[in-house]
Chain A
């Protein structure tokens, strides 16, 4: 107990350091003095504007998106009782992508706000549809039905999205960056708009963490312990949709954070979700902040989308997990 609290405090300090680092270093080098002045004695110079209007929103977005994706991943893995599940397996990413493509096609506009709102709507619709689909029939909402419904929807939505994009090369050009998952050029405005949604998801995630322990034991066991299994599962889905949906709305489909961080959190904090979830939240923010800093320096004088960096880090991890799982069963 005591060590776990100390661990959380250390994690919090690390996140804070990564956050400061993310504001302090970038493609353009800015003296430390200007960074401090940007907040304490702002004079409108270009360097200070870069810190306040480019780096700060970006670091904030990395912070909340990393945290949200990690919690969504934890909940998703507990819900599906599958260690290889991630929030992206809920049809959420491609639900969002399809909604964006349709919105762009219809309105001809490509503003960040349009992207964010249609992505959120698409993600929510896809998530709810997957939930309803997997609740049908005998043995309501079993893990395997959830995963099958989610993967099928994801593939279906992906192929429709790509079909539309092939017919319309112009939107392909515009949406390509979004599909990679990126944190550059985020605006404070969009951040404030999705923050309430994320906050509800985060609080919800912490509140259901106790029940996740029981859900993870399996349907019969949970029912035997007097849980309203269906309602808890519905709550879990709502949390995943809110968190992953709003993340995808501001940053695009950033992969592997949800998958990898839940494992890291369980390895450090054990299987008690009351601890796993806060640990995952911190580790998710930390990982995404660091990946985003890396994205600025991998190519000289040019940034790459952070989704590419997390994929590079995450792919070997996924293979490792799959192999370990194979041996365990």
Chain B
């Protein structure tokens, strides 16, 4: 083959080269997005949607989710959840779903902070749920969120009735309410929220007026440091508990990426960090600038578990975050 190409004219060779360059460029550019792009194959639109609505109304209830009214079984028993927030909430309400995803890669164990996950079938990852695995479980209810799973909403509807919350993160309280409605445990959901409310109020009163309690929260990553602001799950919980943030982080955004140069923005009386990548923190800790931080000088740096600070997004995670804050702020 090489011998053949040798005899083509140089002109053609150049065009070929250019084409190859373009291919390499395109493949290089697209390599960053692979994590997400693959889940958007929901082109199967013209088909029938929720067939559950044809069932007799005596054993169904109406729940209002992100897409409108849905008919769900009165007491669903075979539930598949598509995100960790729903898994967390359902387990806390005493319901073990039959299927749930891993956070990152299909087959990874469920977060360690969650108990009673034995026997739950793995259905892929949060970003890429495996439709065949879900179908094989023959669920009678599927719980997901519009933000992540909009593209497969219609297909899921052909498998079972679906209840979708709008998004994950700061909306976790509304999500818990909708989840409790979906599984017919409204009273349980309200009770859990009230307990959380009380816990945060207690912490709030304990740290009210105390100085030196500004909490910095960030995630060291391979090439940058991501500061978690107030519009994150953990940020919203700190806000509920009246936890003060350093001025640079007291912002209603999700997160901000900084480099070592902007290290001043990482400072706080208490420094909390989590990471998913090995070595990212070790690198930061090694730098000479790290020891110029107030929190570091006062030896008030703590690593926290990313499984619930970052990816939990349910009532158990929220409660554990408040417990952690109690540990670090109330002495």
Contacts and interface: CB of A to CB of B under 8 A. Distances in A.
Whether chains A and B associate is yes
A28 B260 CA distance: 10
A27 B259 contact: yes
B131 interface: no
B289 A53 contact: yes
A55 B257 CA distance: 18
A315 to B, nearest CB: 8
Interface stretch (B69-77, B157-165, B237-245, B274-282): B274-282
Given A84-B21, A170-B104, A111 B14 contact: no
Contact of B259 (A145, A165, A185): A185
Contacts of A187: 283
Nearest to A84: B17
Contacts of B262: 27-28, 301
B224 A184 contact: yes
Interface string A148-183: 110100110011011001111110111111111010
A302 interface: yes
B23 A155 contact: yes
Given A84-B18, A185-B259, A329-B14, A111 B283 contact: yes
Given A46-B289, A255-B25, 11 more contacts: A27-B261, A84-B14, A110-B222, A148-B5, A170-B105, A173-B277, A175-B222, A184-B224, A184-B260, A185-B259, A301-B262
B110 to A, nearest CB: 16
B125 interface: yes
A195 interface: no
Contacts, number: 154
B277 A137 contact: no
B20 A46 contact: no
B264 interface: yes
Given A49-B288, A151-B24, A110 B277 contact: yes
Q: How large is the interface on A (under 10, 10 to 19, 20 to 34, 35 or more residues)?
A: 35 or more
B24 A158 contact: yes
Interface stretch (B29-37, B112-120, B189-197): B29-37
A166 B34 contact: yes
Interface in A297-329: 301-303, 305, 315, 318, 322, 325-326, 329
Contacts of A174: 222, 277
B14 A82 contact: yes
A224 interface: no
A53 B288 contact: yes
Contact of B27 (A50, A54, A158, A305): A158
Interface string B260-294: 11111000000000001111101100011100100
Given A46-B289, A108-B278, A170-B276, A155 B13 contact: no
Nearest to B29: A311
A177 B21 contact: no
Interface in B166-214: none
Contacts of B282: 111
Interface of A: 26-28, 45-46, 49-50, 52-55, 82, 84-85, 88-89, 108-112, 137-139, 142, 144-145, 147-149, 151, 154-155, 158-159, 161-162, 165-170, 172-180, 182, 184-185, 187, 253, 255, 301-303, 305, 315, 318, 322, 325-326, 329
B223 to A, nearest CB: 4
B31 A49 contact: no
Contact of B105 (A82, A111, A169): A169
Nearest to A133: B2
Contacts of A53: 260, 287-289
A325 B16 CA distance: 13
A168 B279 contact: no
A302 B28 contact: no
Given A110-B280, A169-B35, A185-B260, A49 B105 contact: no
A138 B2 CA distance: 10
B222 A145 contact: no
B6 interface: yes
Contact of B24 (A88, A110, A173): A88
B56 interface: no
